[in-house]
Amino acid sequence: MTALEHALKELKDDVILMWIMVEAQLEAAHKAMLEYDQDLAREVMQKEKRINAYELKIDEQCEDILARYQPVAVDLRFLLAVLKINANLERTADIADGIARYVIDAPTPFEPALLQSTHLLDMYTQSLTMLSDTRIAFQREDTALARSIFQRDEIIDAYNLQALDIVCAHLQEGKASIRQELLVLSIIRKLERVGDQAKNLAEEIIFYVEAKVLKHHSKQEG
């Protein structure tokens, strides 16, 4: 194994570790929401600093490899992709932190019927699975799995669009408190952003494996 290969392997291992850390943050925020565990929510917020430190570490590794080895072709694409993946993972950790803050802001436990009727639970499960599957796609360089993320993001987008009408209907019927409905709607908006981040991650995997740039294509076509 050459020095460059060793450095790239170490970098990939660190990215995967950060990915797992971010997944754990999102899962912990999920558990805190379901169980109204505000101590766990505070723990998520405290661990955000560790994620931020790891983001800086990975950025520095990328810069060091670029300066030392001046990689080309797939190795250069890998580094460029990792820089963006790193930023997307940090943003996803920020989203988990935001959800944890909503749990702390909630004066009472979330109504299970409200979480179910707004599809928040389905969105959360889908978001966690998408984040996990993008990691697996990154580990295996599996672009077919990466491409499966795009359709699943559309499902999350559809739930997000439905959420406002559902919440408005609840408020008109007096089914839940205004504060709780608004917090649920805010969490749904956060989960929609997780879907966007997962899609970004998938695009970067395809870029470095296949040398295809997919970002913004759908926007340009629309």
Token pair 């990466």 in the structure block, residue: 146
Number of helices and strands in the chain (H, E): 8, 0
- In the chain, the domains with their CATH numbers are 3-221 (1.20.58.220)
Q: CB-based contacts of 166: which residues, under 8 Å, 6+ apart?
A: 117, 118, 119
Letter string b/e over residues 1-26, b meaning 16 or more CB atoms within 10 A of that residue's CB: eeeeeebbeebeebbeebbeebbebb
Q: CB-based contacts of 81: which residues, under 8 Å, 6+ apart?
A: 204, 205, 207, 208
The pTM for the full model equals 0.92
Written as tens digits, the pLDDT of the chain (222 aa) is 899 999 999 999 999 999 999 999 999 999 999 999 999 999 999 999 999 999 999 999 999 999 999 999 999 999 999 999 999 999 999 999 999 999 999 999 999 988 999 999 999 999 999 999 999 999 999 999 999 999 999 999 999 999 988 888 888 777 668 888 999 999 999 999 999 999 999 999 999 999 888 764 444 333
User: How confident is the model at residue 175, as a pLDDT?
Assistant: 62
| CA quadruple 151, 27, 91, 63: dihedral sign | negative
